[in-house]
Structure 1
Amino acid sequence: MSTVTEGAHRDGGAGDDAGAAKVVDAVRDLAPVLRERADAAESAGRVPDESVAELAGTGFFRLLQPTAFGGLAADPGLFYTCVKEIARACGSTGWIASVLGVHNWQLGLFPEEAQREVWGGDDGARISSSYAPTGKVTPVEGGFRFSGRWSFSSGCEHADWVFLGGLIKGEDGAPVDSRTFLLPYGDYRIEKNWDTLGLRATGSHDIVVDDVFVPEHRTLSFLDTSALDCPGQRLNPEPLYRLPFAALFTSTIATPLVGIAEGAYATYVAVTRERFRVSYGQKVKEDPFAHVRIARAGSAIDAAWLQLAHNIAELYGYAMRGEHIPDELRLRTRRDQVLATERAVEATDLLVENAGGNAMRTGHVVQRYWRDVHTGRGHVANDPERALTMFGRGELGDEVRDPML
């Protein structure tokens, strides 16, 4: 149970980074357990409940949660460090931890009444999402009638609420606003249909809504999030809540893939130290071509993480100082986020190509990492052409308007 902490960080000071550093240590201690459960999670098609409970016990889900509701409102770089460590151990667990964790940040942007509804009785409540505006939205007095089907709601079986995307249209039928709608479990049902090549344990099932009422205060306009002017910022003045949605959300999708690539790299190196290639009568550790692949893959993974971490740190620095975040930085963050994904995939491919036939056997850790990173690459946030085109246009002086900026 939780009540709002009166006066918590009312001056807009930073969150509890010291407490968050302890969370990072606790997550690293938990990672070997998550690694041991990865095969069973994949077979079950669901991250074990005990894994989610133990992650909650580390304080992970509080990293981006407002201090007013028992959270740490911490430096987002610490959140992404945790995500990378979790995904390195188990790709599916890292994926759902990342998306469920970032939703506490987004809820902090909603009107205070919505935050109280979710966290007032349970400050450990979790939210899944599906942002594509595929449903039907009908404005009515005090809110909206809402119905439809949404796909790919990762971790929905571990959530109490859901964020769903919807378009509000004018009298001429043209969209005038795109919003995130917040619904409690009971106003929607989960249709279990997630059966994929990789990230099999994420449980990214469909969400179905049959004509329910969503009050106005449980919606958030993307116009407000893009402008960095959201109603929740008055309750939660910490710098964390002055960051762009697109930067945090897309980093939330890219970081698990970097962690997965790190896991593939560590596993490949460990196996290669002992592997003997019968065809050549040679220990693979003596093969100079394997050395080159290790160097290339390691550099690609390091570059991906260093750019992601650098951009998030720079964004957070602007927020800490209360300064305007330049469009150039927002564009660069999107550029480097999609390239981080590309590098993670390429690095994993380099290693798998040299891992031998045994690596493709069912149950081999390397091929699970390979399947996971390719499946995650398919997320719309990892579309390189869209983000790279935006960056190029910005560099050439064109005005760039995009909801994912």
Structure 2
Amino acid sequence: MRDDDVLAAVRALTPALRERVAEAETLRRVPGASVEELEEAGFFRLLRPRAHGGLATGPDVFYAALLEIARACGSTGWAAAVLGVQPWHLALFDPRAQEDVWGTDDTARICSSHAPTGEVATVDGGFRLSGRWHLSAGCDHAGWALLGGLVTDGEGRPVDMRTFLVPRSDYRVDAVWDAVGLRGSGSNDVVVEDAFVPDHRTLGFGPVTALRCPGHEANPEPLYRLPYAAVFTTAISTAMVGIAEGAYDAYVTAVRERLGSSSGQRIAESPFAQVRVARAAGDIDASRLQLSRNTAELYAVARDGREPSTSLRARARRDQVLATERAIAAVDLLMENAGGSPMRGGADILQRAWRDLHTGRGQAANDVERGLLLFGQDALGITVHDPML
């Protein structure tokens, strides 16, 4: 299977994904058929290491496939972003953890919830984990979970932030997701009750940020020398840009023939509509182009065996949060010019995209102020201390 084969297969799936949009919203999770078709297309292998049957492709291929999915169905794109990026994260872990997941199940998928909302206790050989982790998109379709947690000292003070790899046998999914937007993403809660996690199934944020992970020796591909903060957050923003592109395409197609309710003239002839279309297209293009530029530069640095500068990392985060902001602004512009029709039911593509984008804005990766702050500090010569850089 080649990169081009996967992209072609994903594009061929998009009509079916569009047909299942309403089903996804009704189920409040991605339909099983969609996940299985993405599996068969090879999407979940794009960022998986070659040592475990993956393609370890360039990140641009993964993001291109993700755009196609999100354009067709925002909820499926969001869940695909999260599920699709986790093989990359697991590739940074101890090789024994990778073998635990893929050694006996070639199609094992991994969900995640990185906010440290659970309780962690240090014990011999590892940790004991308990608690509830929220907003784990696509978790119904995963056999493992990556969960964030704070390790504390004897007096309860945080000393380390780690990610814990937990099998489905050690957690349950609580179907609490019932949101206005991204309704079909299945962003449910993961609940763990006193599970033991061995040392080799954990990874600290320090080594990840420093690009010094135990999985690097086993997986020498340059893909795994990219900063976590860029790979994960760009996946989230790419899904949002894809949602905006799908909304833009649907809006332009509809408005070409739609008549204004008060004037009886074609809306397409209105100069105000024309200007809004131009502004929305410009925001979406700017988002996509900046994300692509930063991904290409980061990957080139990794291929050369170099480490990305703090300035490049900060720029990637700056453009990632701005891509989110622009995607939302573009669809807001179109909604303002769409009249009342999109608000009369949930079937309208533009309305759904508007709901999805404003819901996705709440994801921690899309914290615009935090992303811009990192860039501003670096640009002004202030040392940046942030695990999401």
SS in 2 for 1:338: helix
Q: Give the whole-Å Cα distance in 2 for the aligned partners of 1:141 and 1:40.
A: 47
Q: Which one-letter code corresponds to 2:387 in the other structure?
A: P
Greater shift, 296-305 or 270-279, is seen at 270-279
Residue of structure 1 aligned with 2:351, choices 351, 367, 371:
367
Aligned to 2:102: 119
Do structure 1's residue 181 and structure 2's residue 164 form an aligned pair? Answer: yes
Aligned to 1:297: 280
Aligned to 2:340: 357
SS in 1 for 2:147: strand
Cα displacement string for residues 369-392 of structure 1 (whole angstroms, at most 9, x for unaligned residues): 110011111111101111111111
- Quote the offset at 1:45 in angstroms: 1.0
Q: How do 1:5-404 residues align onto structure 2 when only pairs under 5 Å count?
A: 19-362=2-345, 363-404=347-388
Question: Unpaired segments of 5 or more residues in structure 1?
Answer: 1-17
TM-score w.r.t. the length of structure 2 is 0.99
Aligned to 1:7: none
Cα displacement string for residues 174-196 of structure 1 (whole angstroms, at most 9, x for unaligned residues): 21110000000010011110010
SS in 2 for 1:207: strand
SS in 2 for 1:388: helix
Q: Give the whole-Å Cα distance in 2 for the aligned partners of 1:22 and 1:320.
A: 23
Q: Which one-letter code corresponds to 1:141 in the other structure?
A: D
Q: Give the whole-Å Cα distance in 1 for the aligned partners of 2:187 and 2:372.
A: 27
Q: Give the whole-Å Cα distance in 1 for the aligned partners of 2:78 and 2:159.
A: 32
SS in 1 for 2:104: coil
Contact 1:361–1:367 (8 Å) recurs in 2: no
SS in 2 for 1:349: helix
Cα displacement string for residues 160-209 of structure 1 (whole angstroms, at most 9, x for unaligned residues): 00000011112332211100000000100111100100000111111111
Q: Give the whole-Å Cα distance in 1 for the aligned partners of 2:374 and 2:149.
A: 24
Query: CA RMSD, aligned part only?
Result: 0.9
Q: Give the whole-Å Cα distance in 2 for the aligned partners of 1:365 and 1:308.
A: 24
SS in 1 for 2:248: helix
SS in 1 for 2:3: helix
Q: Give the whole-Å Cα distance in 2 for the aligned partners of 1:182 and 1:311.
A: 29
TM-score w.r.t. the length of structure 1 is 0.95
SS in 2 for 1:319: helix
Cα displacement string for residues 90-140 of structure 1 (whole angstroms, at most 9, x for unaligned residues): 000000111101000000001011000100011210000100111111111
Question: Unpaired segments of 5 or more residues in structure 2?
Answer: none
Q: Give the whole-Å Cα distance in 1 for the aligned partners of 2:349 and 2:369.
A: 31
Q: Which one-letter code corresponds to 2:113 in the other structure?
A: S
Contact 2:29–2:187 (8 Å) recurs in 1: no
- Misfit runs of 4+, over 4 Å: none
Aligned to 1:8: none
Contact 1:87–1:256 (8 Å) recurs in 2: yes
Cα displacement string for residues 284-343 of structure 1 (whole angstroms, at most 9, x for unaligned residues): 111111000000000000000000011011000000010121110000000000000000
Q: Give the whole-Å Cα distance in 2 for the aligned partners of 1:220 and 1:155.
A: 22
Q: Give the whole-Å Cα distance in 1 for the aligned partners of 2:371 and 2:353.
A: 25
Q: Give the whole-Å Cα distance in 2 for the aligned partners of 1:191 and 1:122.
A: 24
SS in 2 for 1:381: helix
Q: Give the whole-Å Cα distance in 2 for the aligned partners of 1:122 and 1:40.
A: 28
Q: Give the whole-Å Cα distance in 1 for the aligned partners of 2:276 and 2:22.
A: 27
Q: Give the whole-Å Cα distance in 2 for the aligned partners of 1:190 and 1:302.
A: 38
Q: Which one-letter code corresponds to 2:349 in the other structure?
A: V
SS in 1 for 2:20: helix
Q: Identity over aligned residues, as a percent?
A: 59
Q: Which one-letter code corresponds to 1:242 in the other structure?
A: R
